[in-house]
């Protein structure tokens, strides 16, 4: 059984029988990462007031660096991940409607307004545009304008996530929380909310990076 990429201008085939073990390996890696973040959150290892947020940083950086390295160094990993439909990668971001919870946290004074409003609204905007963009990618009719929107949307979503990391740390109860004056982002490191910075946030960073790497698949892309 083979899969042919449906995007115009792309003509490679993926043999599912030979690449099935790689898809399984990647799925297991993501699953183990989730389980580790789940157990770590339940053990409350991410709430570290007064000290550098080392554990959260490790759960953000190690998976990102690991997957980026694997993608760069392994042709099988690249082939497997490049077979994922771009519309599916895009639609996955509807999960980021969770940003409404950040806004609610700012209103209820459980999160700093400097964090809750911009990061929550940024996530909601990303999620809103993910739906029509995914449908446009799925239905075809790809154009240079769609490619430009696709790139802009990914950059916006990626900047929003990097901003969330930055503000989350600067308003945290850790020793790096230099902007904190009252309410902190400590809630983000308490289970089950801790799954957001330790699993979902870096996962969506990886999805944005993968999408931007594959932008040349869209019609009219020259760079």
Chunked mean pLDDT (size 10), the chain, 223 residues: 42 50 94 98 96 96 97 95 95 97 97 97 98 92 82 98 97 96 96 98 98 86 51
pTM exceeding 0.85:
yes
Q: Where are the domains of the chain?
A: 2-217
CB atoms within 10 A of CB 141: 9
pLDDT at 141: 64
From CA 197, how far away is CA 60, in angstroms rounded? 7
From CA 64, how far away is CA 120, in angstroms rounded? 22
State whether the Cα torsion 216-95-63-49 is positive or negative: positive
Contacts of 159 (CB under 8 A, 6+ apart): none
pLDDT at 145: 85
pLDDT at 139: 86
Mean of the per-residue pLDDT values of the chain: 90
Give 97: exposed, middle or buried? Use CB within 10 Å, 0-12, 13-18, 19+: middle
pLDDT at 143: 73
pLDDT at 15: 47
Strand partners, 52: none
pLDDT at 9: 40
Contacts of 117 (CB under 8 A, 6+ apart): 102, 103, 106
């Amino acid at each position: 059984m083979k899969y042919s990429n449906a995007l115009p201008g792309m003509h490679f085939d993926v043999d599912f029988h030979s690449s099935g073990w790689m898809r399984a390996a990647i799925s297991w890696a993501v699953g183990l990462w989730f389980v580790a973040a789940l157990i770590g959150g339940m053990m409350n290892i991410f709430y570290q007031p007064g000290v550098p947020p080392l554990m959260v940083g490790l759960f953000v950086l190690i998976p990102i660096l690991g997957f980026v390295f694997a993608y760069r160094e392994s042709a099988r990993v690249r082939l497997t991940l490049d077979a994922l439909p771009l519309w599916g990668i895009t639609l996955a971001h509807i999960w980021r409607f969770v940003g409404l919870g950040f806004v609610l946290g700012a209103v209820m004074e459980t999160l700093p307004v400097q964090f809750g409003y911009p990061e929550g609204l940024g996530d909601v905007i990303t999620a809103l545009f993910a739906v029509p963009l995914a449908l446009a990618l799925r239905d075809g009719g790809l154009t240079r304008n769609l490619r430009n929107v696709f790139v802009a949307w990914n950059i916006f979503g990626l900047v929003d996530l990097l901003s969330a990391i930055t503000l989350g740390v600067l308003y945290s109860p850790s020793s790096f929380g230099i902007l904190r004056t009252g309410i902190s982002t400590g809630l983000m490191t308490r289970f089950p909310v801790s799954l957001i910075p330790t699993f979902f946030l870096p996962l969506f960073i990886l999805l944005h990076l993968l999408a931007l790497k594959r932008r040349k698949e869209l019609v009219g892309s020259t760079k």
